[in-house]
Amino acid sequence: NNRQQTLLITGGAGFIGSNFIDYFTKQYPDTQILNIDKLTYAGNLDNLREVDQRPNYRFLQGDIGDKAWITSIFEEYDISGVINFAAESHVDRSIEDSQAFVESNVLGTLTLLDAAKKDWEEKGELDIRRFHQISTDEVYGSLGEVGSFSETTPYNPRNPYSASKASANFFVKSFGYTYGMDVVISSSSNNYGPRQHQEKLIPTIISHALEGKQIPIYGDGGNVRDWLYVDDHCRAIDLIYHKGHTLESYNVGGGNEQTNKDMAAQICSLLDEFVPEYRQPYSISSYRDLIKFTEDRKGHDRRYSVDDRKIKQELGWKPAVDFHEGLKKTMEWYVSEWKNKQTL
Ligand code: NAD
């Protein structure tokens, strides 16, 4: 029966959303989850193969920006909370054309906020049903060699993707201040782990290496990102959703700052160890030989680093996955997916 309380998850067919649903449906078998996803080029129901069998999980295809449809979901289901992962997520695409980023990331978020507000206001529960916005450290802009972003660092987005995510956060906060809605925001650093779309850095490094193609790294490869294993992020979201304070933002970091070139070199070394055989046709002694520096991304942010003492101190979270272990697990997952594709 649809009137059972249901947690609405958006964008759950993507990378982080699918890992989160996998985690959450196991962790809370008595909580009903409704996943809505537009299934853009980035959404893949294959990410949810196992989850799909679980009785507390349902999926509906649609757009978070489709007002009539979103309203009908709040009418049909008793939505107890929203965790909004749905977004256009690739910076390079936003540099090519940012229209879809405004539609999904800004207007989509606003449509969800409006529908939730209307429904929860009618129920007299606007201040106890929670809207959790999944955001990124990119909203803070770019850092030099030193320093970290804290939750009070002013937003200074520098590409259309981060501008759209920052804008969404402002709307989320405004619904908290203006209407008394229970909202919370989490801003995480770069995630890594299974099920990320092929276009992103780590899957690209792995597939290009295995296929003997040049591994493209922007600029001088010195751009620094902090890497967070996706499972650690999922536990952080669980904590923030259940225990975070209303109207607050929480930064979530992995404590693993890596330059892009070091990241590529480490993955290549793991591949050298794990699957040396695919090097043979290309007469190279290491997959590292395939790394090629390319013209830099426009407006490429130099360094991100998050100060996540707040979630550690207030909510007792800390990352559990060792970076090398996480990277090894990630590499093994993409290699096995790649092998499966070869045999199809
Ligand atoms: P992703 O691109 O892998 O997945 C996004 C999902 O959202 C896809 O399944 C897509 O079909 C869906 N979607 C897009 N537009 C939609 C719309 N209008 N309506 C419904 N569904 C729609 O992205 P991801 O890496 O899993 O990121 C998820 C969230 O986390 C995003 O909000 C992103 O900004 C944020 N984030 C990502 C990272 C990271 O490292 N990947 C870091 C910090 C924050």
The atom of ligand 1 lying closest to the CA of 90 is 2
The atom of ligand 1 lying closest to the CA of 64 is 19
Residue 273 annotated in active site = no
- Single-letter code of the amino acid located at 39: L
CB of 157 shorter than 6 A to ligand 1: no
**b/e 25-44 (16+ beta carbons within 10 angstroms → b):** beeeeebbbbbbbbebebbb
Instruction: Residue 139: name the closest of 128, 126, 129, 152 by CA.
Output: 152
Query: Can you tell me the distance from the alpha carbon of 108 to that of 10, in angstroms, rounded to the nearest whole number?
Result: 10
- Single-letter code of the amino acid located at 189: S
Q: Tell me what pLDDT residue 343 has.
A: 83
- Active-site annotation holder among 23, 140, 161, 334: 161
What value of ipTM does the predicted structure carry?
0.99
CB of 42 shorter than 6 A to ligand 1: yes
Q: Tell me what pLDDT residue 303 has.
A: 96
Q: Tell me what pLDDT residue 2 has.
A: 67
The atom of ligand 1 lying closest to the CA of 104 is 18
Residue 238 annotated in active site = no
Q: Sign (positive/negative) of CA torsion 88, 91, 93, 98?
A: positive
Question: How does strand 78-84 pair with strand 130-136?
Answer: parallel
Ligand 1 center to 85 CA (angstroms): 5
| Alpha helices (runs of H) in 123-223, residue ranges in sequence order | 160-179, 201-210
Q: Tell me what pLDDT residue 344 has.
A: 75
CB of 165 shorter than 6 A to ligand 1: yes
Ligand 1 center to 137 CA (angstroms): 14
Residues lower than pLDDT 50 in the chain: none
Residues 6+ apart with CB under 8 A from 260: 201, 217, 218, 221, 222, 223, 225
Q: Tell me what pLDDT residue 119 has.
A: 98
Q: What residue's CA is closest to ligand 1, atom 33?
A: 89
Domains annotated for the chain, with CATH where assigned, are: 5-193+228-254 (3.40.50.720), 201-224+258-303+321-338 (3.90.25.10)
Query: Can you tell me the distance from the alpha carbon of 243 to that of 262, in angstroms, rounded to the nearest whole number?
Result: 36
The CB-based long-range contact list for 283-291 (8 Å cut-off, 24+ gap) reads 284/212, 287/209, 287/215, 288/264, 290/208, 290/209, 290/212, 290/213, 290/214, 290/215, 291/214, 291/215, 291/217, 291/221, 291/261, 291/264, 291/265
Query: Can you tell me the distance from the alpha carbon of 153 to that of 182, in angstroms, rounded to the nearest whole number?
Result: 22
CB of 35 shorter than 6 A to ligand 1: no
> Ligand 1 pocket test: which of 39, 40, 66 has the largest number of ligand atoms within 8 Å of its C-beta?
40
Q: What residue's CA is closest to ligand 1, atom 37?
A: 136
Residue 142: strand, helix, or coil: coil
- Active-site annotation holder among 119, 137, 232, 308: 137
CB of 64 shorter than 6 A to ligand 1: yes
Ligand 1 center to 256 CA (angstroms): 22
- Single-letter code of the amino acid located at 273: E
Q: What is the pLDDT of residues 111-138, one digit of tens each?
A: 999 999 999 999 999 999 999 999 999 9
Residue 161 annotated in active site = yes
Q: Considering the entire predicted model, what is its pTM?
A: 0.97
Ligand 1 center to 314 CA (angstroms): 27
Ligand 1 center to 220 CA (angstroms): 28
CB of 15 shorter than 6 A to ligand 1: yes
Q: What is the pLDDT of residues 267-300, one digit of tens each?
A: 999 999 999 999 989 889 999 999 999 999 999 9
Ligand 1 center to 195 CA (angstroms): 12
